[in-house]
Structure 1
Amino acid sequence: MPVHWHERAKLSWPLRVLTLLSAALLCLIPWSGTAVAHGSVTDPASRNYGCWERWGSDFQNPAMAQQDPMCWQAWQDDTNAMWNWNGLYRENVGGNHRAAIPDGQLCSAGLTGDGRYASMDTPGPWKTTDVGADFTVTLTDQAHHGADYIQVYVTRQGFDPATQRLGWGDLELVAETGRIAPSGTMPVDIRTSGRSGHHVVYTIWQASHADQSYYICSDVNFR
C-alpha cells in the first residue's frame, strides 16, 4: 500500500526532532584544548606538561600532595591548565614580550586564559629534569605552526625558584633561533656555564602561523 505525503511527514517528524536535539547537544559539549593542538616544551618538561605526563591518568590521587606538591596545587587550582598544557600562549603581542607579561607572571603568560595557568607562577619545589651545562630544549609543535623564532632564557645563579616568582631581571638569554619550518619537534641546543642546582628554563616560541606567542617555564637541575 502506498504511503501518502502526510503519512511520510508523520514518520519523518521524530527523526527531524532527534536531529535538531543532537545538533543542540553537540553545541553544548566543550572543546578540549588537546583537540585543537598547539604545543609546548616537552623536554625539559614544562611545568604543566610535566604534571599532565606524571598524573594525567591519576590526577585525583591524594598521594600527589606529598610526592609532587607543586603539581598537586596546580591540579587543585585548575585542572584545565594540565589538560590544555599545549595552549599556554598570548595573541597579538607584536614581539613586545616584556610589556605584555608582568614580572611574577612569566610562567602563566600574564595570567592568560582568564588565569587558567596562574598556578604555574607559584614558587616551590617543582620537579626538575637533570641537565648538564650543555643540553637541548625540545619544543613539540603538535599543530606544525613552525616558528618565526625561539628564544631560550635560563635563570641567573642565585635565583631560587622555590621561594621567588620569576621576573625578567632573573633571566639570561642563552639561545635564539631564526625562522624554523613547520615540524613535529623543534630542538634548540643550549650552552651554559657556571650554574648549579634548581633553575628555570624560560622559552618564548613565536609561532609562524599568526601573532601567537608561547611562554613556557621548565624546571631543571644543573648537575
Structure 2
Amino acid sequence: MDAHATTRRWTLRVIAPVLAGVVGLLTLFMSPWTDSAEAHGSIVNPASRSYSCWERWGDDHMNPAMEQEDPMCWQAFQANPNTMWNWMSLFRENLNGQFQQNIPSGKLCSAGDAQGGLASSLDNPGAWTTTNVGSNFTVELYDTASHGADYFQVYVTKQGYNAQTEALGWDDLELVEETGSYAPAQNISFDVSAPGRSGHHVVYTIWQASHLDQTYFICSDVNFG
C-alpha cells in the first residue's frame, strides 16, 4: 500500500472529528445571534402575562410548587411552555389598523391566537400575578430588535371588570393614552393616567411597530392601590 495514501487516510480520520467539533462550536456560538436577529419585544413594566411568567419561572418551570404559588402561570406552562419562552412575539401583521375587526373579544391577550394558537392560555381569566400601580404610572417597552413605534394605544379595564372571572373583551376597556411615534430604540417608556380604579385590572397595550405593518397586543395585570 502507498505510504502517502495511508498517511492521508490517517490524517483525515484525525482531522474529521476536530472539524466536526469546530462546526458544532460555531453553531453553538452563532445561534444566540440568530435568535436575537429574529427577536421582537413586549411590555416589561407593568409586566405582560407571558413575560411575568417567564421572569419568575423560566428556568424553574418544572417546579411543582408553581401550581399552588402561581396557578395562572402553571396552566400556561402546561398548555405550552413556548408561550412564555417566546414572550416577545405576540404580534399580528397587515391588520391596517383594523384591530377590533381582527382580534375578537375573549382573545385579546393572545392577540387573537397569535403564535399559531400556542398563546391561548393567556386569555384565561384568573389570579394572574399583578404589578402594583397608582392612578399615574409608566409603561415600559423592551424591544431587542429596536423596531421603533408609529404609536402606542393603552387601554385599561373599567371599574367593575373582574379579571379573575371574565375573559377580556373590547367593551371592558377604556382608552387612556395614545402616543405619537418613537424612533428605534431597545427601551421606550411613557406615562399614562387611569384614575378612578382600585383592585385587579388589565392594562392592554397596542404597539404599532414602525418597520412594517406589525402590531403587538399585550395584556399586563395590575393592582391599583
Determine if the TM-score, normalized by the shorter chain, exceeds 0.5.
Answer: yes
Match of 1:194 among 173, 188, 196: 196
Report if the CA contact (8 A) 1:33-1:87 is conserved: no
Match of 1:87 among 79, 86, 89: 89
Quickly say closer, same or farther: Cα 1:73–1:152, change in 2 above 3 A. same
Quickly say closer, same or farther: Cα 1:196–1:32, change in 2 above 3 A. farther
Structure 1 stretches of 4+ with a deviation exceeding 6 A read: 7-14, 30-33
Match of 1:211 among 210, 213, 221: 213
Matched, 1:100 2:102: yes
Q: Read off the aligned partner of 2:104 and give its amino acid letter.
A: P
Q: Read off the aligned partner of 2:90 and give its amino acid letter.
A: L
Structure 1 distance, partners of 2:142, 2:48, is 11
TM-score by length of 2: 0.86
2:55 is aligned to 53
Quickly say closer, same or farther: Cα 1:75–1:125, change in 2 above 3 A. same
Structure 2 distance, partners of 1:101, 1:206, is 14
Per-residue CA distance 1:160-216 (angstroms, 9 max, x = gap)? 010000011100000111110011111120112110000000000000011110000
1:220 is aligned to 222
Report if the CA contact (8 A) 1:150-1:206 is conserved: yes
Quickly say closer, same or farther: Cα 1:33–1:150, change in 2 above 3 A. farther
Report if the CA contact (8 A) 1:42-1:138 is conserved: yes
Structure 2 distance, partners of 1:196, 1:33, is 43
2:131 is aligned to 129
Q: Read off the aligned partner of 2:194 and give its amino acid letter.
A: T
Q: Read off the aligned partner of 2:88 and give its amino acid letter.
A: N
Q: Read off the aligned partner of 1:132 and give its amino acid letter.
A: G
Structure 2 distance, partners of 1:74, 1:31, is 25
Quickly say closer, same or farther: Cα 1:122–1:33, change in 2 above 3 A. farther
Q: CA deviation at 1:31?
A: 9.2
Matched, 1:77 2:68: no
Report if the CA contact (8 A) 1:32-1:84 is conserved: no
Q: Which runs of 5+ in 2 are unaligned?
A: none
Q: Which runs of 5+ in 1 are unaligned?
A: none
Report if the CA contact (8 A) 1:34-1:83 is conserved: no
Structure 2 distance, partners of 1:113, 1:53, is 20
Q: CA deviation at 1:49?
A: 0.2
Instruction: Give % identity.
Output: 56
Report if the CA contact (8 A) 1:106-1:166 is conserved: yes
Structure 1 distance, partners of 2:68, 2:9, is 64
Alignment RMSD (CA, Å): 2.6
1:163-202 correspondence runs (5 A): 163-202=165-204
Per-residue CA distance 1:29-78 (angstroms, 9 max, x = gap)? x9999542100000000000000000011000000000000000000001
Structure 2 distance, partners of 1:123, 1:3, is 73
TM-score by length of 1: 0.87
Quickly say closer, same or farther: Cα 1:34–1:119, change in 2 above 3 A. farther
